[in-house]
Structure 1
Amino acid sequence: MESVNEEIKQLCEQFRLGGIYPGLQQAVQQAEKDNTGYGAFTLGLLKAEAEHRSRKDRERRLKTAGLPAGADLDNFDTTVDNGLSPRKLSQLRELNWIDQIFNVVLMGPSGVGKTRIASGLCLDAVRAGYKAYFRTMQDIVSTLRTKDAVPSQNTEYRRLLKANLIVIDDIMLFPLQKEIAVAFFNFINHVYENASIVITTNKAPAEWAKMLDDEVIATALLDRILYRCEIIRLSGESYRMKNRKSFFEKQND
């Protein structure tokens, strides 16, 4: 029996059936106890393998998504008045706009929840089975600069080209050099017809030309992003400033 178990283990490793062997002995004992037929027993093993692969796939997609901590919108405080009603947030979380290849622009000052909402939508998309990625604008710039010289960045670039959803956080926070502005336009031009794009920004579209130092590129970029797009203007007091921490103990001075 021991030699049989070892051979089964080796074959599971050879065929990469990581979900079958760990629970095999328990499955055999349960089948003997329940007098399970061969078909039902085999089906149980295959279901275990399917669940194992599904779990591993979710873990892989979550890892490559690059989500910041605290992205889960289930914990989002919908009582805060930031210009996005709970009803609209619920509609966004249904993710129908991804299937329709619609974009979302979250615009507003710092601290009103842009990144929180964008990362939460990305997490929802990953859980729903989409290839979704959260990247800062600086991440994108770094990839564009080095993709032809660094293999890992080339892999990252090709991964983004195959995405269903790309979140770009803090777009146009800093000015872009002409070479990078052109590369960024080419990137958006490659993906906008096949992937939804969520953008967070504190700059109105009219200000993008200044950040790119090129009105033609800015116009062409906005043309692709805004063609099928929902612009959501967030407002209100900065959550971070409202809940600012201090290392001094509260006391009467």
Structure 2
Amino acid sequence: MSNKLTAYLESQMQALKLKGMLAHYQEITEKASQNNLSYTEYLSLLFEEELKRKNEGTVKTKINKARFPFIKTLEEFDFSFQPSIREKEIISLSSLDFVEKKENIIFLGPPGVGKTHLSVALGIKACMAKYRVVFITAQKLLEELLLSAKDGSLLDKLLGYSRLNLLIIDELGYMPVTKEQANLLFRLVSMRYEKGSIILTSNYNFNEWGEIFSDQVVAAAIIDRLVHHARIFYINGTSYRLKGKLKAANDR
């Protein structure tokens, strides 16, 4: 292939934003020549690279929009350190059938046992499957809803969150919840009921939620909608944050 033709093809691919093809067409052309591939096979390989790049770009965009606090995977989770978790049950969640069924996942347990890690890991799996995902702490979510209620944009805010395939609410109960905030959370949970999945983490068991919300009735109503179609995991174990310190102490 002449330099002039090569430059022309590259300029055309750049103009069409075919970055996957542009990055790999030379090696694919060489491979096609060496293996006597047909034109159809050659084009198939080019399109395969382009599609791969676009898929990677889509996933990256979805992960960025999800606003995860960090990137963690299920493969990085140390199940041996938390024997109260059944590894097979957690791994089975990576099929994302709970998202398809619009079921909720609830992780309950003390601080540091891996609830957020598991939530993020499942959220990333959902992004890779091209679902719409957002991660947010309960406190930030409640602050957003309260502000929206005051400036008249509450309905838009609720609709935005209700359209997500997966909403991850982290650390419910970390800070006290006012009665107004509790009612707003109830509205959001109600709007998502049987329409979209929620992953929720909390340091408190359900029988303590009345204290979080300062209202047993609202707490019961929220729990009712969350758990109706939910898989609940109680994690009891040592904090991962203490893992290194415990190991260091044992090594002395």
Pick the TM interval, shorter chain.
Answer: 0.7 to 0.9
* 3-state SS in 2 of match to 1:170: strand
1:241 aligns to what?
242
Q: 1:47 to 1:180 in 2, by over 3 A?
A: same
Q: What's the Cα RMSD here?
A: 3.4
Map 1:59-78; keep pairs closer than 5 Å.
59-69=60-70, 71-78=72-79
Matched, 1:92 2:93: yes
On the 8 A contact 2:168/2:200 being kept in 1, the answer is: yes
Structure-2 residue corresponding to 1:210: 211
> Does the 8 Å contact 1:143/1:154 carry over to 2?
no
Give CA deviations for 1:203-238 in whole Å, capped at 9, x if unaligned. Answer: 222332332233333232222101111222221333
Query: TM-score, normalised on structure 1?
Result: 0.78
Change in Cα spacing, 1:81 to 1:176, as seen in structure 2 (3 Å) is: closer
| Runs of 5+ consecutive residues of structure 1 not aligned to the other structure | none
Which segment drifts farther, 184-193 or 46-55?
184-193
Please list, as runs of the form range in 1=range in 2, the aligned pairs for 1:157-176 lying within 5 A after superposition. 160-176=161-177
Q: CA deviation at 1:200?
A: 0.9
* Cα deviation, residue 79, structure 1: 1.8
Contact 2:145 2:157 in 1 (8 A): no
Of 103-112 and 114-123, more deviation after overlay is shown by: 114-123
What residue is the counterpart of 1:220 in the other structure? 221
What's the offset of the Cα at 1:155? 9.5
Aligned-residue offset at 1:53: 0.7
TM-score normalised by the chain length of structure 2: 0.78
CA shift digits 1:95-133 (9 cap, x unpaired):
332322221211122222222222222233333443333
Which letter does structure 2 place at the counterpart of 1:69?
F
The 1:146–1:42 alpha-carbon spacing in structure 2 relative to 1, beyond 3 Å, is farther
Q: In the alignment, is the contact (CA less than 8 A) between 2:58 and 2:130 conserved in 1?
A: no
Kindly state the Cα deviation for residue 136 of structure 1 after the two structures are TM-superposed. Answer: 1.4
Distance in 1 (CA, whole Å) between partners of 2:72 and 2:155 is: 27
Deviations for 1:130-185, whole angstroms, at most 9, x for unmatched residues?
33333211232243245587x9x999876643322222111122222333323222
Instruction: Check if 1:191 corresponds to 2:203.
Output: no
Code of the residue aligned with 1:119 in structure 2: it is V
Runs (5+) with no aligned partner, structure 2 = none
Which structure has more helix as a fraction of its residues?
Answer: 2
Match of 2:123 in 1: 122
Cα distance per residue 1:189-214 (max 9 Å; x no partner)? 22232222111111222332332233
- Amino acid paired to 1:110: P
Q: Describe the SS at the equivalent of 1:79.
A: helix
Deviating more after overlay: 221-230 vs 208-217: 208-217
Q: Deviations over 1:71-98 (max 9, x none)?
A: 2221222222452122333333343323
* Structure 1 Cα separation of the partners of residues 43 and 82 of structure 2: 54
Task: State the partner residue of 1:53.
Answer: 54
The 3-state SS of whatever aligns with 1:20 is helix
- In the alignment, the residues of structure 2 paired with residue 13 and residue 187 of structure 1 have an alpha-carbon distance, to the nearest angstrom, of 44
In structure 1, C-alpha distance between the alignment counterparts of 2:83 and 2:137, rounded to whole Å: 22
Shift of residue 35, structure 1, vs aligned partner: 4.5
> Contact (CA 8 Å) 2:139, 2:175: kept in 1 or not?
no
How far apart are 1:30 and its partner, in Å? 4.3
Is 1:110 the counterpart of 2:111? The answer is yes
Determine if contact 1:82/1:112 at 8 Å carries over to the other structure.
no
Identify if the C-alpha distance between structure 1 residues 236 and 33 changes in structure 2 by more than 3 Å, giving closer, same or farther: closer
